[in-house]
Amino acid sequence: MLKCPAFVDTHLHLSLGGEPRENARRQYDAGIGLVRDAGDRDGCLEGLDFSPLQVVRTGPALFKPGYYGAFIGDRRQVDLEEKIVSTPAGFVKVLLTGLVSFDEYGVVGKTQWSADELEKIVVTARRHGKKVMVHVNSDAACRLAVEAGAHSLEHGYFIGRDTLKMMADRRIYWTPTVAAMANQLQDPDGRFSAVQLQIIEKNYRRQLEMINFAHEVGTPLTIGTDSGSYNVSHGRVFFQELELYRQAGIGREDLLNMATIAGWEMLEVPVDRWITVDLERFPASDCVTAAVEPVGATTGSQGGIILP
């Protein structure tokens, strides 16, 4: 049994897929101690108490009218700097591209911001002590986000190997959210055609290949589920995401670090919840055996799990 920091989900949406506080409870019951909410509808999470779960809120995301993202975007008629300053935590969510097409492999929605505009967002955020997380797909758009100085890339479908190497060199985090794609194959409402399901499968399998490559070259990886999106349930999908990383070839100890220490360090939040994990069963959903107090336990600056 290993004593370690609680799990961290670095990308989800508490305002989607159910009542926000109930969604938070499901996260906590799964052994998760910290989450980053990656954009909430109309700022509806403002003032809600999610304790004992720690929630880092990005608030409504930055997007351009007429492009993808109005449902979680900041639609106020104020200047960009005011939107950045008013984000509720140290992270600004930017929507750079649209969604991945299920009709044509490799196609994604339009890019919203130019290189100069995105760099200006990053510089402005940095001036106000904030970091930028970028919703992005396609290798060209991922490269744009990397060169602009983003702190993390979210989703990143069709990202290329050279871009991942750049991210490793610059210590830019990647949150692949692969379960959110793979879960669409279940298609409980019969939304997709046979051709679309083939494209969905091809999308997620390529993402697994890139996760493996990212790990090999040292791109910092964290675990984000995109919980709240269609057919992505709060709480239990975290273990599905972990299992997909295992399928990508990530070993248990490295994966446990990604699911725990990497998330706390990325979000720069002091650990306030500790769990015990059966490493032989990890990442099965019953691998968490108990919540424990943080007496004498700590995390090392180079990662890894240190027992009391």
Residue pLDDT, tens place only, 136-149: 999 999 999 999 99
Q: Do the domain assignments include residue 67? A: yes
pLDDT grade, residue 66 (50/70/90)?
A: very high
pLDDT at 123: 98
pLDDT at 298: 43
pTM: 0.94
pLDDT at 293: 52
Q: Do the domain assignments include residue 251? A: yes
Q: Do the domain assignments include residue 308? A: no
227 is in which domain, residue-wise? Answer: 2-299
pLDDT at 116: 98
- Domain count within the chain: 1
Average pLDDT along the chain: 93
Q: Do the domain assignments include residue 306? A: no
Q: Do the domain assignments include residue 35? A: yes
Q: Do the domain assignments include residue 304? A: no
pLDDT at 305: 46
Length of the chain: 308
Half-sphere exposure of 283 (CA within 13 A, CB side): 26
Task: Output the domain CATH number for residue 242.
Answer: 3.20.20.140
Q: Do the domain assignments include residue 187? A: yes
Looking at residues 144-163, what average pLDDT do you find? 98
Q: Do the domain assignments include residue 212? A: yes
pLDDT over 70 for what percent of the chain?
A: 94
pLDDT grade, residue 290 (50/70/90)?
A: low
Indicate whether 299 pLDDT > 50. Answer: no
